């Protein structure tokens, strides 16, 4: 689960034509001469006088919005490369933005100024799903509540012990996926749809393991709607005079989705509270044997843990959980952790199929270590170094959240690429996608899929994706780094390993194609997924096929 925020990219994730029409309409309405005179012109000379990093030419009112095209991380890289600048200043409407495109720039921002960029901009739509400004986690301001939720995430909710205890839930999702592929064989399988279904169901079951199947299906539809709304470009977030107008109707749509999601979460929590009350009544807390208490503790899902914290009478007031905070946190987790995992499985499998020799090495390693009598599981990952290397290489080239989005809470003095002063309230974008492809660190093979670089003796063998090496930050780094990183590092390669071990996969060719190759075009949206569905034909390669348990 990539919660990097994300993972939660907020920038121009809609049709570029729609965004352009909206921007031009706003420009016509707001093009008052006084405003134009104040912010118009080239801006490069003014920025040098004020100590801002270099910037492309901009237009009045809309700033640099006209230059941006999805996918935004690629546009940022092109603009920064044109300027030759590791730090770039742009204006999105009335919003100052800083774009960091090098490991050196990311290092300075995170190591020297992390305390000044610990906030995430709270957009109009995200505010609704956070039940205000501070009930959620992903967009909550840095303070006692956020720090308490971060500790809770890292120690209990997404800590190693809970991730291990909830492994059977994820295994059940994988079993269901394998059964689906077997049932549909030899017909083509829309693996994109099946992976999203598996990932969403697994994360919802991890949150609330006892909810009815109908609730899971409704939650999957709402998660998709939240991701689309939070990831959409909203003019009122960037052009001040448009705030409160809801010109695109996003606010109205978000209110409807939030109302439906809130009702669903109330049902989930009420169902969980009834089950908890019944369990207490049957067993009685006072006369439980120690072993019974241990069993009850180990059967808890994430909402159980949150309800325990809410009922804790000793919790400090500023960190005490409320019902709204539990609901806001649940929306954050299921939205950030569902489609991201599915996207990473799909990217990794697509890369392996486009590189048959790498696919052969992964399969041979699995056959040698695991064999053919059982299905590869998460416990096997530590013994499969080439599989891990292939996953690391996928994370480098295809991070699910290619831009880490922050906001400055103080003025910052930066030295990377010059001497600059960045004002308070600036949106900070760290382009993780560009950093992971920088030839300065990755050499002449920076754009190639080459897992061997992470193997023993490879030039990057000591690099880990945990945020400590600033040339390699697929999960972000620092206080706002992805708290679901540990879960993602276990679950994603395990799914890929099972799919590679159990089936031979062939690409379904398009009309007129002589040789079918998987295209790697990216989609627009909150999660950086492939643009086109992954249609593959599977044939079982294990005979007899092991019992899938």
Residues 105-116: pLDDT tens digits?
A: 999 999 999 999
Q: Is the C-alpha dihedral spanning 450, 456, 458, 462 positive or negative? A: positive
Span 467-484, average pLDDT? 94
**What's the pLDDT band for 88 if we cut at 50, 70, 90?**
very high
Asked if omega into 314 is within 30° of 0 (cis), the reply is no
Q: Provide the 8-state DSSP code for 548.
A: -
**What's the pLDDT band for 548 if we cut at 50, 70, 90?**
low
**What's the pLDDT band for 133 if we cut at 50, 70, 90?**
low
* Domains of the chain with CATH codes: 16-35+76-81+122-404+434-540 (1.10.630.10)
User: What is the spatial order of strands in the sheet that 403-407 belongs to?
Assistant: 87-92, 95-100, 427-431, 403-407
pLDDT tens, residue by residue, 280-303 = 777 665 554 544 444 444 568 899
For residues 272 and 295, what is the distance between their CA atoms, to the nearest angstrom? 17
The listed range with the strongest mean pLDDT (29-43, 237-251, 448-462) is 448-462
Span 202-207, average pLDDT? 89
Q: For 182-206, give the secondary structure using H, E and C.
A: HHHCCCEEEHHHHHHHHHHHHHHHH
Least confident window among 149-158, 248-257, 439-448: 149-158
By CB atoms closer than 10 A (0-12, 13-18, 19+), residue 191 is buried
Return the C-alpha torsion angle 204, 208, 213, 216, nearest 10: -30
Least confident window among 180-189, 238-247, 378-387: 238-247
% of the chain at pLDDT higher than 70 = 86
Least confident window among 7-11, 451-455, 471-475, 500-504: 7-11
Closest C-alpha among 314, 329, 337, 381 to residue 199: 337
10 contact partners, CB below 8 Å, separation of at least 6: 121, 123, 126, 230, 231, 237, 405
For residues 537 and 182, what is the distance between their CA atoms, to the nearest angstrom? 11
The listed range with the strongest mean pLDDT (149-153, 320-324, 356-360) is 356-360
pLDDT tens, residue by residue, 335-364 = 887 789 999 999 999 999 999 999 999 999
For residues 128 and 253, what is the distance between their CA atoms, to the nearest angstrom? 11
Burial 202-214 (b: 16+ CB within 10 A, else e): bbbbbbbbbbeee
For residues 400 and 433, what is the distance between their CA atoms, to the nearest angstrom? 9
Closest C-alpha among 313, 443, 404, 488 to residue 110: 404
Tokens coding 242: 């448009």
Write 488-492 long-range contacts (CB < 8 A, 24+): 488/1, 488/2, 488/340, 488/341, 488/344, 489/391, 489/465, 490/163, 490/378, 490/381, 491/1, 491/170, 491/202, 491/341, 491/378, 492/341, 492/344, 492/345, 492/348, 492/391
Span 448-453, average pLDDT? 98
Pairing relation of β-strands 95-100 and 427-431? parallel
Cβ atoms 401, 7 nearer than 8 A: yes
For residues 364 and 381, what is the distance between their CA atoms, to the nearest angstrom? 14
Q: What's this model's pTM, rounded to 2 decimal places?
A: 0.88
Q: Which helix (H) or strand (E) holds 3?
A: none
Backbone angles phi, psi at 407, to 5 degrees: -145, 135
Q: Between 205 and 44, name the one with better pLDDT.
A: 205
Tokens coding 370: 């695991």
Span 135-156, average pLDDT? 86
% of the chain at pLDDT higher than 90 = 58
pLDDT value for 351: 98
Span 192-213, average pLDDT? 87
Least confident window among 43-57, 67-81, 306-320: 43-57
pLDDT value for 16: 44
Token pair 């669903």 is at which residue?
264
Q: Provide the 8-state DSSP code for 9.
A: -
Q: Which helix (H) or strand (E) holds 506?
A: strand 503-507
Chain centroid to Cα 169, Å, comes to 21
pLDDT value for 252: 95
Span 317-326, average pLDDT? 85
**What's the pLDDT band for 423 if we cut at 50, 70, 90?**
very high
Least confident window among 70-74, 149-153, 462-466, 491-495: 149-153
Token pair 């609330």 is at which residue?
208
Q: Per the annotation, does 482 bind a ligand?
A: yes
For residues 502 and 375, what is the distance between their CA atoms, to the nearest angstrom? 8
The pLDDT of residue 204 is above 50: yes
Tell me the pLDDT of the chain averaged across its residues: 86
Pairing relation of β-strands 420-422 and 412-414? antiparallel
Q: Please, what's the largest Cα pairwise distance for the chain?
A: 78
């Amino acid at each position: 689960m990539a919660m990097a925020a994300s993972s939660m990219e907020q920038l121009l994730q809609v049709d570029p034509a729609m965004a352009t029409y909206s921007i031009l309409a706003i420009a016509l309405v707001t093009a008052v001469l006084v405003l134009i005179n104040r912010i118009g012109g080239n801006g490069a000379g003014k920025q040098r006088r004020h100590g801002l990093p270099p910037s492309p030419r901009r237009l009045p009112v809309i700033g640099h919005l006209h230059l941006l095209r999805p996918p935004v991380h690629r546009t940022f890289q092109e603009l920064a490369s044109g300027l030759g600048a590791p730090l770039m200043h742009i204006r999105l409407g009335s919003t100052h933005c800083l774009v960091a495109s090098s490991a050196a720039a990311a290092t300075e921002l995170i190591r020297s100024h992390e305390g000044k960029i610990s906030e995430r901009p709270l957009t109009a739509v995200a505010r609704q799903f956070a039940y205000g400004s501070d009930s959620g986690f992903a967009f909550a301001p840095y303070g006692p509540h956020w720090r308490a939720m971060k500790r809770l995430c890292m120690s209990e909710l997404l800590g190693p012990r809970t991730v291990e205890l909830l492994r059977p839930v994820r295994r059940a999702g994988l079993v269901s996926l394998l059964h689906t592929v077997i049932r549909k064989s030899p017909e083509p399988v829309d693996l994109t749809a099946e992976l999203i279904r598996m990932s969403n169901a697994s994360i919802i079951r991890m949150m609330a393991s006892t909810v009815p199947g109908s609730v899971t299906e409704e939650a999957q539809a709402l998660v998709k709607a939240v991701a689309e709304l939070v990831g959409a470009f909203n003019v009122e977030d960037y052009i001040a005079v448009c705030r409160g107008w809801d010109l695109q109707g996003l606010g109205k749509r978000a209110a409807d989705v939030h109302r439906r999601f809130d009702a669903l979460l109330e049902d989930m929590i009420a169902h969980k509270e009834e089950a908890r009350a019944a369990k207490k009544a049957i067993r009685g807390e006072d006369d439980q044997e120690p072993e019974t208490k241990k069993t009850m503790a180990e059967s808890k899902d994430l909402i159980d843990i949150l309800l325990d914290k809410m009922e804790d009478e000793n919790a400090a007031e500023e960190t005490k959980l409320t019902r709204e905070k539990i609901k806001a946190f649940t929306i954050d987790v299921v939205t950030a952790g569902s489609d991201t995992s599915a996207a990473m499985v799909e990217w990794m499998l697509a890369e392996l199929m486009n590189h048959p020799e790498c696919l052969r090495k992964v399969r041979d390693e699995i056959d040698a270590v695991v064999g053919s009598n059982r299905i590869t599981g998460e416990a096997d990952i530590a013994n499969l170094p080439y599989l891990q290397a292939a996953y690391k290489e996928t994370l480098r080239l295809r991070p699910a959240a290619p831009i880490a989005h922050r906001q400055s809470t103080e003025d910052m003095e930066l030295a990377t690429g010059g001497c600059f002063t960045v004002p308070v309230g600036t949106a900070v974008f760290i382009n993780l996608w560009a950093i992971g492809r920088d030839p300065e660190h990755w050499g002449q093979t920076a754009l190639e899929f080459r897992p061997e670089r992470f193997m023993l003796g490879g030039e990057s063998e000591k690099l880990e994706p945990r945020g400590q090496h600033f040339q390699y930050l697929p999960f972000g780094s620092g206080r706002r780094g992805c708290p679901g990183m540990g879960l993602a590092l276990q679950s994603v390669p395990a799914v890929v390993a099972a799919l590679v071990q159990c089936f031979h996969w062939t690409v379904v060719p398009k009309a007129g194609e002589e040789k079918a190759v998987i295209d790697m075009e990216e989609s627009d949206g909150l999660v950086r997924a492939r643009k086109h569905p992954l249609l593959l034909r599977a044939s079982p390669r294990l005979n007899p096929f092991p019992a899938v348990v």
